[in-house]
Structure 1
Amino acid sequence: MDMNIIASSQAPKAIGPYSQAVAVGDWLFTSGQIPLDLEGNIVGSDIEAQARQVFANLKAVLAEAGTSLDRVVKATVFLADLKDFEGLNKVYAAEFGSHAPARSCFEVSRLPRDVKVEIELVVSLR
């Protein structure tokens, strides 16, 4: 099995021992992205600003892999508070447009750096 590690200089570095994304065969698996800028600072204090930064980071990782959001098959969203579901959906819908990949969304007890949202993707490279 050939694995290709994806590392974009246009997205924040991993804050732990993992890759931004890994391509295996026809699939790309991103690690969860949180709303950090390139210097590792949290961007935004509300769900919409944080979600926009998460998508900016995800798009940078996807671009490094030669793909984009229109190839996303599955998204997994982690929210610190499910009350942010509506605000997250506004940004999510704007980012994906008419493309509607499968999605799971969970409220979790805590996210890294106490951010409001984390998103990971599964992407078809074919």
Structure 2
Amino acid sequence: MARRRISSGSTFEELAGYSRAVIDGPWVFVSGTTGFDYATGTIAADVAAQTEQAFANLAAALDRAGASLADVVRVRVYLAERADFETVAPIVGRHFAGIRPANTTVICTLVDARMKVEIEVTALKGDTAA
């Protein structure tokens, strides 16, 4: 199976030379995804709202790749503020409650000061391991 790229249509993808997601065989690699609403070009100030929007963006990319959040085997969460962990962790936990992928959470500076959270995932399409 040939490698296939998925774009969100963001001009930043071309500028920075990346794809929203890459499909390689049964694997789907979704780039770091923030809480920007791609339709409106806006981002909420609230970290919980950003996290929910990031999950909506991730789910849309996975869907275009023929996968879903249920196929995720690896998640990385990047937080701009350590204090936001208490808000973000339960949201991540709710989305992955039945899946329980491997997880790493990192506190770091993000590209845009409005961004409070960025999430990337790796999925294995059709993975039914428990």
Task: Name the residue aligned to 1:95.
Answer: 95
Normalization by structure 1: what TM-score? Answer: 0.88
Gaps of at least 5 residues in structure 2 are none
For 1:97-112, what aligned pairs fall within 5 Å after superposition? 97-108=97-108, 110-112=109-111
Aligned length: 121
Provide the TM-score with structure 2 as the length reference.
0.85
Alpha carbons of 1:48 and 1:77: their partners in 2 closer, same or farther (altered >3 Å)? same
2:29 aligned partner: 29
1:106 aligned counterpart, secondary structure: strand
> Of Structure 1 and Structure 2, which has the larger fraction of its residues in strand?
2
Alpha-carbon distance, 1:101 to partner: 0.4
Aligned-residue sequence identity (percent) comes to: 38
Partner of 2:19: 19
Q: Which amino acid aligns with 2:12?
A: I
Q: CA RMSD in A?
A: 1.6
- Cα 1:98–1:89 change in 2 (3 A) is same
**Partner secondary structure for residue 66 of structure 1:** coil
Q: Who is 2:59 aligned against?
A: 59
Once the 2 structures are TM-superposed, how far is the Cα of residue 82 of structure 1 from its aligned partner?
1.4
Distance of aligned partners of 1:3 and 1:55 in 2 relative to their CA distance in 1, 3 Å threshold: same
Corresponding residue for residue 68 of structure 1: 68
Segments of structure 1 that go 5 or more residues without pairing to the other structure are: none
